[in-house]
Amino acid sequence: MRRNLLEKLFVICLIVFTNAGLFAQNNEGQIHGNFQVDAQIYRQDSAIGADVPPEKMGLNTYANFTFTKGDFSAGLRYEGYMNALLGYDEQYDGVGVPYRYISYQNDGLSITVGNFYEQFGNGLLFRSYEDKSLGYDNAIDGLRVKFNPYKGVYLKGFTGKQRSYFDVGPGIVRGVDGEFFINDIFSALSENKTQVILGGSFVSKYQKDEDPRFKLPENVGSFAGRASLVHGGFNLSGEYAYKYPDPSADNGYNIKFGDALLINATYSQKGLGIYLSMKRVDNMNFRSDRNASLNNLQINFIPAITTNHTYSLAAMYPYATQPNGEIGFHGEITKNFARGSTLGGKYGTNVALNFSRVNSLKTTPTVDGTGYESEYFAIGDEIYFQDINVKIHKKINSKWKTDISYLNIIYNKDVVQGLAGYGTINANVAIADVSYKFKPRHSLRVEIQALFTEQDNGDWAMGLMEYTIAPKWFINVSDQYNYGNSDDKLHYFNVAAGYKKGANRFQLGYGRQREGIVCIGGVCRNVPASSGFNISITSSF
């Protein structure tokens, strides 16, 4: 059901009244916001399998308005999909105001009604967030209360329904969370060198059971505990989450409990950083609709603990979290060799070594409805993903800067993308990114990338040149060439130019987009191949 009429009324009221507040009374209420439009005009390009949709053009637009005055704030977001860009779910259709809220905070109490984003701990039980490039938005529509009753005590509670495109999901989600800063609570410990933070949360969902065959649990509860310990440069933190049986489409309607464990340990001092992370996840899909799939109506967020690469070819095989079961590790050492040292040279050298690996759980099938049992710290035989990479950053002189990266990636395409018959890909990627400053505000950046693999589409090479005149202009030209493909050695040529002024950015591009996966935080979206013109405008005010 659309709520368009009322939403429109709301927009008009907001604008009229807030304007009245701003101009008539000059009492320092503020309106801020932002605006974003991404449009693409599609071109038939059968070589890469890019089809033109019937509407010929895709356009996503978003506009946020936030009004604040003193302890009050109110806001809304207009969204329009005319039609949604290819790769976004077709349920993003038309226009509306799917996000609006009003909130008040005073004396440590904060109340929000309407839509809000929130996270408990690491999000293992609950995280509502939005990411437009993923088309992801599971904002809660309901009530949230945050309360800070004493120094060092932070409490939160909420209840509501989750956003699902222009509607809300069928289930209700509710939860409470407490975070306790021990050194603040007990004044005797305030000067202690070891800082301890404890936290806990409870989240449950309710969805009516309408299944004619099974008696499914209508309420599913979950709880989590977390602790963080900081001592000088050491930081150790962990969170454990447990979910009661939650039969759903994700887990084949099994009645096994779910759980997740995330531990991070870091050490850092001047010029050195060490990071270690471990994660184990078992049957932890948690949605407010037991029949939902893809990225819909997820209550929790299981972060991928692998490096998030952004160079085009390094991002060819990104990992996506497997909430049904995985166990993984991630470690990184970052070292800055100071200027003047042997390895540092005149301007210093920065080196990062990084390793991550994710495997299946070790499971044995069971005959009751739980489906399987898993051994806790045992690592399963199947590799889902591995990434070994090294990055070197070096400023050569006041004009030249370089970044060199090398990656070795093992990518289980069947598991990560939920396919069959593609097997596991082993790829090596080398990247050089060099920039040269002609004048203080004029610089040229060149990227050379190569990806080598025997599997999938074979080898790729890429070149990119970008010329910028700070702070306003840029132009870049790039080509990705799939020269190792035995069927079709395709070029993906792109050109883009843009103009920026303050917080306004305007970009125009033309070219081919290869089919691929966009991932953020381990949540991914497939993007189909496309070809044509694209326009992007962003503005903040």
Partner 1 sequence: MKNLLLAIFLILVSNSGFSQNIPNVQIKSLENKIVNTQDLFDGESLIILSFWATWCKPCIKELDAYNENIIDWAEETGVKLYAISIDNARSMSRVAPFVNGRGWEDIEFYLDPNEDFKRTMNVINVPHTLLLDGNGKILWQHTSYADGDEYELYDVIKEKSSK
Residues of span 49-78 touching partner 1 by CB under 8 A: 64, 66-72, 74
Query: Which residues from 87-106 bind partner 1, rule CB under 8 A?
Result: 100, 102, 105
Half-sphere exposure of 263 (CA within 13 A, CB side): 9
Q: How far apart are CA 220 and CA 182, in angstroms?
A: 31
Number of residues written out for the chain: 541
Out of 225, 245, 273, 345, name the contact with partner 1 by CB under 8 A: 273
Which residue number, 151 or 208, has a Cβ lying nearer to partner 1?
A: 151
Q: Which is nearer to partner 1, 304 or 416 (CB)?
A: 304
Q: What part of residues 414-433 is at the interface with partner 1 (CB under 8 A)?
A: 433
In the list 25, 46, 364, 486, the residue contacting partner 1 (rule: CB under 8 A) is 25
Instruction: Please identify, among the stretches 15-23, 53-61, 84-92, 416-424, the one whose residues bind partner 1 according to the rule CB under 8 A.
Output: 15-23
CA distances from 71 to 29, 150, 487 (A): 11, 20, 63
Show the site string, 373-402: x = touches partner 1 by CB under 8 A, - = not. ------------------------------
Helix, strand, or coil (residue 145): strand
Out of 266, 402, 408, 428, point to the residue binding partner 1 (CB under 8 A). Answer: 266
CB 250 → partner 1: shortest distance, Å? 20
CA pair distance 13, 290, nearest whole angstrom: 38
- Is residue 195 involved in binding partner 1 (CB under 8 A)? yes
Q: What HEC string does 196-263 produce?
A: EEEEEEEEEEECCCCCCCCCCCCEEEEEEEEEEEEECCEEEEEEEEEECCCCCCCCCCCCCCEEEEEE
Which one of 147, 154, 206, 533 is in contact with partner 1 (CB under 8 A)?
Answer: 154
In a 3-state reduction of DSSP, which class is residue 187? helix
- Which backbone phi and psi does 7 adopt, to 5 degrees? -65, -40
Q: How far is the CB of 441 from partner 1 (least distance, A)?
A: 4
| DSSP secondary structure code for residue 298 in this structure | B
CB of 362 to partner 1, least distance (A): 25
Q: 107-126: which residues touch partner 1 (CB under 8 A)? A: 113-114, 117-119, 122-123
Q: State which of residues 36, 61, 408, 417 lies at the interface with partner 1 (CB under 8 A).
A: 36
Minimum gap (Å) between residue 18 Cβ and partner 1: 5
| Binding test (CB under 8 A) with partner 1, winner from 91, 235, 417, 494 | 235
Site string for partner 1, 514-533 (x = CB under 8 A): -------xx-----------
Of the CA atoms within 13 Å of residue 492, those in its CB half-sphere come to: 21
- Structure-block tokens of residue 385: 């993903």
Can residue 475 be called a binding residue for partner 1 (CB under 8 A)? no
Q: Tokens representing 281?
A: 């996840």
Alpha helices in 44-121, H assignment, sequence order? none
Question: Least distance to partner 1 from the beta carbon of 473, Å?
Answer: 9
Indicate which single residue of 46, 90, 215, 269 sits in contact with partner 1 (rule: CB under 8 A). 269
Q: What is the DSSP string of 364-391?
A: EE-SSTT-EEEEEEEEEEEEEEEEEEEE
Contact in structure between 92 and 168 (CB atoms under 8 Å): no
Residue 303 in the binding site for partner 1 (CB under 8 A) = yes
| CA triple 492-497-500, angle to 5 deg | 145
Q: Which residue, 331 or 458, has its beta carbon nearer to partner 1? A: 331
DSSP secondary structure code for residue 11 in this structure: H
Site pattern 157..186 for partner 1 (x: CB under 8 A)? ----------------------x-x-----
Query: What does the alpha-carbon distance between residue 321 and residue 417 come to, in Å, rounded to a whole number?
Result: 10
Please tell me whether residue 6 binds partner 1 under the rule CB under 8 A: yes
Contact between 329 and partner 1 (CB under 8 A)?
no
Region of 3-11, 243-251, 284-292, 366-374 interacting with partner 1 (CB under 8 A): 3-11
Residue from 47, 294, 495, 503 binding partner 1 (CB under 8 A): 503
Q: Are 472 and 501 in contact (CB under 8 A)?
A: yes
